[in-house]
Amino acid sequence: TSAQIGVTGLAVMGRNLARNFARNGYTVAVHNRTASRTKALVEEFGGEGDFIKAETAEEFVAALERPRRLVIMVKAGEPTDAVIQEFAPLLEPGDMIIDGGNAHFADTRRRERALREQGIHFVGMGVSGGEEGALHGPSIMPGGPTASYDSLGPMLEKISAKAKDGAPCVTHVGPDGAGHFVKMVHNGIEYADMQLIGEAYQLLRDVAGYSPAEIAEIFRIWNQGRLDSYLIEITAEVLSHVDASTGKPFVDVVVDQAEQKGTGRWTVQIALDLGVPVSGIAEAVFARSLSGHAGLREASRELAGPQAVPLGKEEAAAFADRVEQALYASKIVSYTQGFHEIAAGSEEYGWDIDLGAVSSIWRGGCIIRAAFLDRIRAAYDARADLPSLLSDETFAREIADAQDDWREVVIAAVRQGVPTPGFAAALAYYDGLRAERLPAALTQGQRDFFGAHTYRRVDREGAFHTLWGGDRSEASA
């Protein structure tokens, strides 16, 4: 017998993905650099389906039916290149290498190009949903040649999560790096969602005076409404958890320095290159970074802050409702920014990404899965060429309804000295887009003054320069 698919790299994500294929009836070849892992997988989970154990790269490749589908689940970066270099010489034209790691899309583009010369289809595949998702159904974002999707797609559709309407959470995102690009932005949005939830928590605690357990209850209620999402759900779990050794809320015994593996940072770096304002996502990355500067924070502890005035009980409940509005409105903004970045990447690299399809496959399986994605899907269904999520009537109306509370929450945060960079950046983005006139006109004047960089006029075509050092007459540039 031969395997329809092979997985090399059997750390927890690879192992669970291999098991997912096997549980869905596929024969799966499994391989790992250290063979003990392969052995352990088959010993422990062999009963779940058909596995073929391969000790060497040659055995692994020989076990696969043609065209071969070879999934690599190793660390992004050099380890991925090393595995590609090991296997590519053993493959034949038409075979597929599928990289399911969190690769940078530029690496994926480079690898796709190099392998294309050998006739090998390289599929950069974003996978979201953590360990559980990999096993029970992740959201899958494959890029690469369309031909590869014809052969691979049905298998991915089988192992993927399904949205509530039954649709598989996988689509062919686009050529070369498109899949990993979309996964990257997914993670940027994930960072923003987490930051906004964190700010809501901090406000409920420091301004409204609620305990972590009470805040968990508030999140549970929010989770029954429009904020219904995996991240809100697990937030309630984390907040209600009590540390066994101290009896304190778990959240109070964890060091408050957030780590990151890089995908959020990439989202911001690429957005800067593409000229897309992803301020909410950027603030989320910066907030993690600030939290990690222990020495700087220690040295700043004595800096002056406002006299904080906690709210009374009734005010607190009303404030919590406002925070829900602020969180929801800010969430609309971070998705607006994320989808803008995907649209810009698609344009830059000629990927022709279907934004509606992206919102659709994020409805299940992934970390940012949420009822909210159904609404984004509906917005793109209503209008595929929507210039921005904020141009959707429903979202615009919801923000209009939320904005007074949103502003009040940011004001309260500022007054009480609670940092809410996510809420505030989202609001500034919203007001920036809305503004009739921006001080960018003044920026242009300054640039022209010190560097003769020229400006355009509201009333005439062309580029102009004012002779600032002379008689201040205007010249056509």
Is 447 marked within a binding site? yes
Draw the binding track, 220-259, toward ligand 6PG (x: CB under 6 A; -: no contact): ----------------------------------------
161 vs 412, beta carbon nearer ligand 6PG: 161
187 vs 360, beta carbon nearer ligand 6PG: 187
Which region, judged by CB under 6 A, interacts with ligand 6PG, from 24-32, 52-60, 122-130, 278-286? 122-130
67 vs 133, beta carbon nearer ligand 6PG: 133
Half-sphere exposure of 429 (CA within 13 A, CB side): 28
Size of the site for ligand 6PG (CB under 6 A): 12
When asked if residue 448 is in the footprint of ligand 6PG (CB under 6 A), the reply is no
Q: How far is the CB of 70 from ligand 6PG (least distance, A)?
A: 21
- Please, which of residues 260-279 interact with ligand 6PG by CB under 6 A? 260-261, 263-264
- Bridge partner residues of 98 (DSSP): 71, 123
The residue within the footprint of ligand 6PG, chosen from 367, 370, 399, 427 (CB under 6 A), is: 367
Residue nearest to ligand 6PG as judged by C-beta position: 128
Cβ–Cβ < 8 Å for 430, 423: no
Q: How far is the CB of 133 from ligand 6PG (least distance, A)?
A: 6
Q: How far is the CB of 138 from ligand 6PG (least distance, A)?
A: 7
What type of residue is 201? Y
What residues are annotated to the active site?
Answer: 183, 190
The residue within the footprint of ligand 6PG, chosen from 49, 77, 94, 130 (CB under 6 A), is: 130
Draw the binding track, 47-86, toward ligand 6PG (x: CB under 6 A; -: no contact): ----------------------------------------
128 vs 223, beta carbon nearer ligand 6PG: 128
194 vs 276, beta carbon nearer ligand 6PG: 194
Task: Name the nearest CA neighbour of 361 among 139, 121, 117.
Answer: 139
The residue within the footprint of ligand 6PG, chosen from 9, 129, 174, 422 (CB under 6 A), is: 129
When asked if residue 366 is in the footprint of ligand 6PG (CB under 6 A), the reply is yes
When asked if residue 291 is in the footprint of ligand 6PG (CB under 6 A), the reply is no
Distance CA 54, CA 34 (A): 11
Cβ–Cβ < 8 Å for 239, 213: yes
**Geometric angle at alpha carbon 311, from 309 and 316, rounded to 5°:** 155
Which region, judged by CB under 6 A, interacts with ligand 6PG, from 27-35, 123-131, 149-157, 304-312? 123-131
Distance CA 351, CA 176 (A): 8
67 vs 142, beta carbon nearer ligand 6PG: 142
Residues annotated in the binding site for substrate, as ranges?
102, 128-130, 186-187, 191, 261, 288, 447, 453
Residues annotated in the binding site for NADP(+), as ranges?
9-14, 32-34, 74-76, 102
Return residues touching ligand 6PG (CB under 6 A). 102, 128-130, 187, 190, 260-261, 263-264, 366-367
